Amino acid sequence: MPTVSIVIPARNEAENVGALLDEIDRACTGKAEYEVIVVDDGSDDGTGAAVERLMESRPHLRLVRHDRSGGQSAAVNSGVRAARGAIVCTLDGDGQNPPEELPKLFLPLMDPARAAIGIVAGQRVGRRDTLSKRLASRFANGLRSRLLNDGTRDTGCGLKGFRREAYLALPYFDHMHRYLPALFARDGWQVMHVDVGHRARQAGRSNYNNLQRGLVGAVDLFGVMWLIRRRKKSRPTETGVRGA
């Protein structure tokens, strides 16, 4: 059984997936027992078929398919539910998240002395995006950080590591992947941040635009604020049930 499950949400990334998997193997071999789960989010470019061919030589590689595109959070959720590892790491399927950063995410969660950490969130430095995307991201991250006070400067980074059971205890909603640090903190977990690199997309094109991100982000932000205000504020002090 793997200790770490690496989940890759992918939509129309047939040109990127092979090189990405090679890099993951180089980064993680010898550091943990791991599996890789590619979630094909309704691709129409042969992404799923490309992964199936690669599975023939990679026994640790698995494929989950969506019959239609559900978005990044839906793909991550499907991958986490299929995962066998107690620790899950995510990275984007477009190759912009360098796989060599993955040990930064899972090694702290494997340390028994750091059992209070629920999530290790990557924060990109030296971003290789267009100016308009960087400016939109800076504004959105600044607004979210002020309203949620989650200490995260780059919540949109796809590189994250977290405890599977803690993630499954969170309320699911579309686009929740952008609010995972705040949601883990809401449930009493410590949040750790690490700086990670960023690369330009090598092939294909982005599945998002700034307007689309902004419209859904405004609604989601107020929803997360509501969830934090309505969190359960008391916990049982004993594990047993008296009188049972």
Is 235 part of any domain? Answer: no
Cβ-proximal residues to 192 (8 Å cutoff; 6+ apart), any chain:
108, 114, 117, 119, 120, 121
pTM here? Answer: 0.84
The confidence score (pLDDT) of residue 152 equals: 80
Q: Which residue has the tokens 């504004």?
A: 139
Contact (CB, 8 A) for 40 and 61:
no
Is 12 part of any domain? Answer: yes
The confidence score (pLDDT) of residue 158 equals: 94
Calpha distance 181→232 (Å, rounded): 17
Is 187 part of any domain? Answer: yes
Domain that holds residue 158: 4-229
Longest CA–CA span in the chain (Å) reads 63
Is 40 part of any domain? Answer: yes
Q: At what angle do helices 47-55 and 17-28 cross, to 10 degrees?
A: 40
pLDDT tens for the chain, 244 residues long, are: 999 999 999 999 999 999 999 999 999 999 999 999 999 999 999 999 999 999 999 999 999 999 999 999 999 999 999 999 999 999 999 999 999 999 999 999 999 999 999 999 999 997 655 566 655 666 666 666 667 777 788 888 999 999 999 999 999 998 899 899 999 999 999 999 999 999 887 776 666 554 455 445 666 777 787 788 777 666 666 555 555 5
Token pair recorded at residue 210: 């700034």
Is 242 part of any domain? Answer: no
The confidence score (pLDDT) of residue 229 equals: 76
Domain total in the chain: 1
CATH of the domain at 63: 3.90.550.10
Is 115 part of any domain? Answer: yes
Q: Is 34 helix (H, G, I), strand (E, B) or coil?
A: strand
Is 240 part of any domain? Answer: no
Is 133 part of any domain? Answer: yes
In 3D, which of 172, 174, 169 has the Cα closest to residue 187? 169
Torsion of CA 112, 88, 86, 171, to 10 degrees: 110
